[in-house]
């Protein structure tokens, strides 16, 4: 697959649309998020991605208890959590767990099923402070939905930095300009964030045929040949069939998450914490959770 071609003289990849997030709401008592996209919006356009929640920068006072979300199950996909500010702790019934802090990412593969909790860390709860987080749901192909759960803690210092002119990329997964991110993925995915250090335009190539989504966490950002504005917490989807370079224009200090992946082209049936291919598999997931087959937190 050609990913390194010089794009000089070619037309930038077309932007298919810009989409507004849903309203802000609490997830548990620890995460005040906007849901940027969700499976029912357009499962085909988003595939292999399912959902993106962004908890924008927010100050939390010290708390005598750990805020967050208590025990709940997942099956059929992966949750990828980016801690931008503050600390998150995760604990799951498959024995996975850990604390991630500023710049770190945890990649939790629920697959056949886990029960987990997601909380502010003890220290962050005691001290309070600024908190910002993203959680992305990545779908699994039908052949992997009932595989073993997996937990990957990925630290900020492990992410290769890729110089993209006015911006620097932190590469979490997949290939970008000859470098490779540390996350193991079940299908081909390239995932990175960009931080602009000056006003300017950056461009990079991603495989044609892949879904490519850009999400500005903050800052003035525009994309595509018409320099269409993508306001903060909105997202832009590029034309999958266009093989031009992805072009992003931004002002200093803008931060942008870039998600790219090969679409699965399988039916998506998403219900609450489960994402399967058929309604019958969702019913089975509820039964398996209720009968304890996804394990319990000790
Ligand atoms: Mn969860």
Helix (H, G, I), strand (E, B) or coil at 32: strand
CA of 100 relative to ligand 1 center, distance in Å: 15
Residues 6+ apart with CB under 8 A from 291: none
By DSSP bridging, strand 105-109 and strand 49-60 are unpaired
Given a cut of 80, whether residue 9 has pLDDT beyond it is no
Average pLDDT, integer, range 193-200: 98
* pLDDT tens-place string over residues 33-88: 999 999 999 999 999 999 999 999 999 999 999 999 999 999 999 999 999 999 99
Q: How far is the CA of 57 from the centre of ligand 1 (A)?
A: 20
CA of 99 to the centre of ligand 1 (A): 15
pLDDT at 265 over 60: yes
Q: What backbone torsions phi and psi does residue 212 show, to the nearest 5 degrees?
A: -135, 120
pTM: 0.95
Separation of CA 127 and ligand 1 centre (Å): 24
Looking at the predicted structure, is the pLDDT value of residue 5 above 70?
A: no
How remote is the CA of residue 73 from the centroid of ligand 1, in Å? 7
Assess contact for 249 and 220: CB atoms under 8 A. Answer: no
Please give the structure tokens belonging to residue 15. 């932007």
CA distance 143 to 98: 28
Ligand 1 centroid, distance to 254 Cα (angstroms): 28
* Å from CA of 74 to ligand 1 middle: 7
**Alpha-helical segments (H) within 30-146:** 39-46, 122-127
Q: What is the DSSP string of 182-246?
A: S---SS-EEEEEEEESSSEEEEE---TTSEEEEEEEES-EEETTTTEE--TT-EEEE-TT--SPE
Helix, strand or coil, per DSSP, at residue 80: strand
For residue 280, is pLDDT > 60?
yes
Instruction: Please determine, for residue 171, whether its predicted confidence score (pLDDT) is greater than 90.
Output: yes
CA dist 229 and 247 (Å) reads 12
- Flag whether pLDDT at 146 surpasses 60: yes
pLDDT of residue 239: 96
How much distance in Å is there from the Cα of 26 to the middle of ligand 1? 14
Ligand 1 centroid to Cα of residue 109, in Å, is 11
CA of 198 to the centre of ligand 1 (A): 36
pLDDT above 90: percentage of residues in the chain: 94
Centre of ligand 1 from the C-alpha of residue 191, in Å: 20
Expressed in angstroms and rounded, the spacing between residue 98 Cα and the centre of ligand 1 is 14
Task: Say how many Å lie between the CA of residue 83 and the centre of ligand 1.
Answer: 15
Give the count of beta carbons closer than 10 Å to the beta carbon of residue 280.
10
- Contact by Cβ (8 Å): 104, 71: no
Q: How far is the CA of 238 from the centre of ligand 1 (A)?
A: 28
Rounded CA separation 31/117 (Å): 13
């Amino acid at each position: 697959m050609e990913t390194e071609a010089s794009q000089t003289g070619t037309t930038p990849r077309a932007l298919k649309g810009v989409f507004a997030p849903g309203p802000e709401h609490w997830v548990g008592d620890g995460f005040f998020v906007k849901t940027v996209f969700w499976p029912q919006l357009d499962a085909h356009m988003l595939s292999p991605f399912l959902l993106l929640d962004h908890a924008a920068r927010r100050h939390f006072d010290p708390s005598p208890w750990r805020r967050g979300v208590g025990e709940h199950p997942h099956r059929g996909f992966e949750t990828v959590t980016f801690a931008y500010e503050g600390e998150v702790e995760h604990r799951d019934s498959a024995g996975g767990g850990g604390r991630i802090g500023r710049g770190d990412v945890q990649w939790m593969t629920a697959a056949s099923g886990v029960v987990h909790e997601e909380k502010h860390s003890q220290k962050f709860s005691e001290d309070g402070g600024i908190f910002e987080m993203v959680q992305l749901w990545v779908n699994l192909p039908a052949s992997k939905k009932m595989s073993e759960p997996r937990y990957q803690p990925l630290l900020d210092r492990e992410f290769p930095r890729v110089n993209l002119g006015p911006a620097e990329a932190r590469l979490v997964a997949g290939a970008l300009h000859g470098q490779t991110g540390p996350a193991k993925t079940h299908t081909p995915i390239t995932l990175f964030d960009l931080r602009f250090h000056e006003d300017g335009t950056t461009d990079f190539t991603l495989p044609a045929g892949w879904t490519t989504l850009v999400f500005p966490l903050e800052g003035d950002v525009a994309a595509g040949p018409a320099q269409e504005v993508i306001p903060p917490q909105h997202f832009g989807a590029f034309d999958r069939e266009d093989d031009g370079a992805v072009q992003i224009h931004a002002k200093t200090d803008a931060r942008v998450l870039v998600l790219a992946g090969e679409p699965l082209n399988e039916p998506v049936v998403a219900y609450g914490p489960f994402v399967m291919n058929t309604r019958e598999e969702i019913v089975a997931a509820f039964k398996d959770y209720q009968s304890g087959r996804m394990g319990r937190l000790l």
